[in-house]
């Protein structure tokens, strides 16, 4: 057992965050902790890493186990460069490398078994720490988080707060703690970075504990799920989808057992009432009373199934043609992309692509908030757009929740306004909360309530699932799936995209775009198939015909060995390019790169054939 906490409890004043929790990590398990916003998931992680303490409970952990967590004060010294900060992670690698160099010098004059054994031991540790590839690993992880390689030379204090957090995330991943704690790791990452992180976590050689509302990320990474609800935690083997099925089965079994027991209790109570006052049946009645007293009551697990329920309805049907753009160039001081597409009534278009390609700029341009650089767009007949913007959803009006809705819809009476707010889980005194103090999820729900009341027939949504927990995302999916109008939305949530989108607008880093009339799953499968190529037939290696002298042969072998090393290094560089957005989203460039990689493979094979032939003649 790598880590175990038993009967753990945490309180804030008189309120229990969680009580009597049992939690354990075995070996290299990838564990997801799921639950509603505010149920205590982040607090539990903070207690695990020592930023807070459990108020009660026993923690058992293997000696020497390291725990890594992205703390709030992410980087202590921001005066140095990013590269200097990240290189602190590889202190052990550098120290072992220094010791190996000292032994290599010593081995020139001392080749004893003791020295050779010491060197072999150091080399084994060096390889285990990825010492031969630390620089490549550092650059790969860094660039996968949206940075340019040149950013390594910049000082940390030159970056924004969000960028510093991502730098700290890179440092955390490179440090490779025995237990890696990740709290909402996919927030603010684009789809490409999320997919890369997914693979990284899945193949991480140690344990990982993840708190996330990204269902597809959890499906692809977790092999154990802990559900946190009403201060309790329960362990389920398998990924998130398995957890959903198992939990539903558990609840159904509990309900069935509870109903059977209640029928049995009613039957026994009826027997007791029937015979307790009859002399010849009094003993029988007493035995049934004792049986009832000893009976262990079946409890049905308490579940929090509250969620908002909304039905978006357009006031008018609108024309068949909803949106047409013609060479619409988007950007501010420079062009980000050019979009030409046609959207028809009933379409649900997901706008996807790496960060910085113009997704939010596109929807802002459609809403008239940003002027296009050139080109044109046109909304169809009687098309009435309704806009959800993640930034506009962060209310700071000083109004109450009730006033925020009522001021925009004065024709509604108080009862009608409260009824709509109730659909979005604002009930009783919640409607008198100031919008400034609402949580992120509450602000999103309030913004959706305002959008519902516009009765638009064309919904334009920019990251609508941010700050929503899983039940909230599921409720929004259900509401939008039943919408009879048209939807165009920006999202990085792959599960949400898969559930909702009927077509995709893919914006690429090179300013191009692709309109794919298919689901997200079909698109990703198509992308994978694009990367599959027919194997290139290899030409037979040309044989060395003339007889070489021993000295010439040795020189030739050394030359070929050097060429092989150079070609292998070139091959590694080309393979790394496959993960660069410039190639990942450009089929033509990726095909050309694959051709080059195949050519290098062929050259290496030719060189190896020559090397084997020359070596065999010695």
| pLDDT value for 536 | 43
- For residue 72, give the 3-state DSSP assignment: coil
The per-residue pLDDT for range 426-458, each reduced to its tens digit, is 988 999 999 888 888 899 999 999 999 999 999
CB within 8 Å of 514: residues ≥ 6 apart: 504, 505, 506, 508
The per-residue pLDDT for range 191-206, each reduced to its tens digit, is 888 998 999 999 999 9
Judge whether residue 577 has pLDDT over 90: no
In whole angstroms, what is the distance from residue 120 CA to residue 113 CA? 10
Whole-model pTM: value is 0.75
| pLDDT value for 485 | 96
Question: Residue 544: pLDDT band by 50, 70, 90 thresholds?
Answer: very low
* CA-closest candidate to residue 404, choices 461, 451, 446, 444: 446
pLDDT higher for 107 or 211?
211
Backbone angles phi, psi at 22, to 5 degrees: -115, 125
In whole angstroms, what is the distance from residue 422 CA to residue 433 CA? 14
In whole angstroms, what is the distance from residue 159 CA to residue 235 CA? 40
Judge whether residue 247 has pLDDT over 70: yes
In whole angstroms, what is the distance from residue 95 CA to residue 430 CA? 58
pLDDT higher for 589 or 285?
285
CB within 8 Å of 24: residues ≥ 6 apart: 1, 3, 4, 5, 235
> What is the average pLDDT score of the chain?
87
CB within 8 Å of 150: residues ≥ 6 apart: none
Question: Residue 38: pLDDT band by 50, 70, 90 thresholds?
Answer: confident
In whole angstroms, what is the distance from residue 470 CA to residue 477 CA? 10
Return the bridge partners of 59, or none.
5
In whole angstroms, what is the distance from residue 406 CA to residue 411 CA? 8
β-pairing, 15-25 vs 385-389, is: unpaired
Find the farthest-apart pair of alpha carbons in the chain and give their distance in angstroms, rounded: 120
CA 468 to chain centre: 14
pLDDT higher for 582 or 11?
11
Q: Which of 300-304, 390-394, 445-449, 509-513 has the highest mean pLDDT?
A: 445-449
For residue 322 the two structure tokens come to: 């909803």
Judge whether residue 178 has pLDDT over 90: yes
| pLDDT value for 539 | 40
How does DSSP assign 318-378, residue by residue? Answer: --SEEEEEEEEEEESSSEEEEEEEEEETT-EEEEE-STTSSHHHHHHHHTTSS--SEEEEE
Let me know: does 204 contact 180? Beta carbons within 8 Å.
yes
Let me know: does 486 contact 343? Beta carbons within 8 Å.
yes
* CA-closest candidate to residue 208, choices 98, 48, 97: 48
What is the average per-residue pLDDT within 20-24?
Answer: 95
In whole angstroms, what is the distance from residue 285 CA to residue 36 CA? 47
* CA-closest candidate to residue 348, choices 158, 183, 515, 500: 500
β-pairing, 56-61 vs 458-462, is: unpaired
CB within 8 Å of 580: residues ≥ 6 apart: 143
Judge whether residue 218 has pLDDT over 90: yes
The per-residue pLDDT for range 306-365, each reduced to its tens digit, is 889 889 999 999 999 999 999 999 998 889 999 999 999 999 999 999 888 899 999 999
Provide the 8-state DSSP code for 47.
H
Share of the chain above pLDDT 70, in %: 91
Judge whether residue 87 has pLDDT over 70: yes
Handedness of CA 175, 180, 183, 185 (dihedral sign): positive
Tokens 């807070």 identify what position? Answer: 52
Question: Residue 225: pLDDT band by 50, 70, 90 thresholds?
Answer: very high
Burial (CB count <10 Å: 0-12, 13-18, 19+), residue 350: buried
Let me know: does 365 contact 520? Beta carbons within 8 Å.
no
| pLDDT value for 394 | 63
Tokens 């262990």 identify what position? Answer: 296
| pLDDT value for 338 | 93
What is the Cα gyration radius of the chain? 31
H helix intervals, 5-132: 41-49, 82-87, 91-107, 113-128
- Other CB atoms within 10 A of residue 365 CB: 22
Question: Residue 26: pLDDT band by 50, 70, 90 thresholds?
Answer: very high
Let me know: does 501 contact 348? Beta carbons within 8 Å.
yes
| pLDDT value for 534 | 43
| pLDDT value for 616 | 67
The per-residue pLDDT for range 39-75, each reduced to its tens digit, is 999 999 999 999 999 999 999 999 989 999 976 556 6
| pLDDT value for 295 | 85
In whole angstroms, what is the distance from residue 591 CA to residue 510 CA? 16
Judge whether residue 524 has pLDDT over 70: yes
Encode burial over 243-261: b for 16+ CB neighbours within 10 A, e otherwise.
bbebbeeeeeeeeeeeeee
| pLDDT value for 465 | 92
């Amino acid at each position: 057992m790598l880590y175990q906490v038993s009967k753990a409890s945490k309180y804030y004043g008189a309120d229990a965050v969680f009580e009597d929790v049992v939690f354990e990590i075995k070996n290299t398990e990838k564990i997801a902790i799921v639950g509603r916003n505010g149920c205590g998931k982040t607090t539990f992680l903070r207690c695990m890493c020592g930023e807070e303490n459990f108020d009660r409970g026993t923690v058992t952990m293997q000696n020497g186990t390291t725990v890594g967590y992205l703390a709030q004060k992410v980087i202590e010294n921001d005066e140095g460069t990013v590269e200097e900060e990240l290189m602190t992670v590889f202190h052990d690698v550098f120290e072992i490398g220094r010791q190996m160099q000292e032994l290599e010098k010593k081995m020139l004059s001392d080749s004893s078994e003791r020295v050779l054994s010491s060197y072999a031991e150091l080399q084994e540790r060096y390889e285990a720490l990825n010492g031969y590839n630390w620089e490549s690993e550092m650059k790969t992880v860094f660039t996968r988080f949206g940075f340019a390689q040149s950013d390594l030379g910049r000082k940390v204090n030159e970056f924004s707060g969000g960028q510093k957090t991502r730098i700290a995330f890179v440092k955390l991943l490179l440090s490779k703690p025995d237990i890696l704690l990740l709290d909402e790791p996919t927030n603010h990452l684009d789809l490409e970075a999320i997919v890369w992180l997914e693979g990284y976590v899945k193949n991480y050689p140690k344990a990982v504990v993840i708190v996330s509302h990204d269902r597809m990320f959890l499906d692809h990474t977790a092999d154990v799920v802990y559900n946190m609800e009403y201060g309790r935690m329960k362990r389920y083997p398998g990924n998130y989808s398995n957890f959903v099925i198992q939990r539903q089965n558990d609840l159904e079994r509990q309900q069935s057992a509870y109903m059977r027991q209640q029928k049995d209790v009613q039957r026994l109570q009826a027997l007791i009432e029937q015979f307790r006052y009859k002399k010849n049946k009094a003993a029988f009645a007493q035995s049934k009373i004792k049986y009832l007293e000893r009976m262990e009551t079946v409890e049905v697990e308490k579940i929090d199934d509250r969620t908002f329920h909304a039905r978006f309805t357009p006031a008018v049907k609108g024309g068949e043609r909803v949106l047409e753009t013609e060479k619409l160039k988007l950007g501010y001081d420079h062009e980000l992309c050019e979009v030409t597409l046609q959207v028809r009534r009933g379409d649900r278009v997901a706008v996807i692509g790496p960060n910085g390609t113009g997704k939010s700029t596109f929807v802002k341009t459609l809403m008239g908030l940003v002027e296009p650089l050139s080109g044109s767009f046109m909304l169809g007949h009687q098309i009435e757009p309704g806009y959800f913007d993640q930034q506009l959803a962060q209310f700071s009006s000083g109004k109450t929740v009730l006033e925020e809705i009522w001021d925009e819809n004065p024709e509604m009476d108080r009862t009608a306004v409260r009824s709509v707010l109730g659909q979005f889980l604002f009930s009783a005194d919640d409607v008198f909360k100031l919008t400034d103090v609402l949580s992120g999820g509450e602000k999103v729900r309030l913004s959706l309530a305002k959008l519902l009341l516009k009765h638009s027939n064309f919904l334009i949504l920019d990251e609508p699932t941010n700050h929503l927990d899983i039940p909230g995302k599921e409720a929004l999916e259900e509401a939008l799936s039943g919408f009879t109008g048209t939807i165009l939305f920006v999202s990085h949530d792959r599960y949400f995209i898969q559930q909702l989108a009927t077509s995709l607008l893919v914006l690429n880093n090179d300013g191009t775009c692709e309109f794919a009339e298919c689901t997200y799953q079909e698109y990703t499968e198509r992308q994978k198939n694009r990367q599959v190529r027919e194997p290139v037939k290899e030409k037979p290696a040309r044989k060395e015909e003339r007889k070489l002298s021993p000295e010439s042969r040795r020189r030739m072998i050394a030359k070929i060995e050097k060429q092989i090393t150079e070609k292998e290094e070139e091959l590694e560089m080309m393979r790394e390019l496959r993960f660069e957005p410039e190639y990942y989203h450009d089929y033509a460039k990726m095909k050309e790169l694959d051709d080059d990689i195949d050519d290098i493979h062929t050259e290496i094979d030719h060189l190896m054939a020559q090397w084997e032939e020359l070596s065999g003649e010695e």
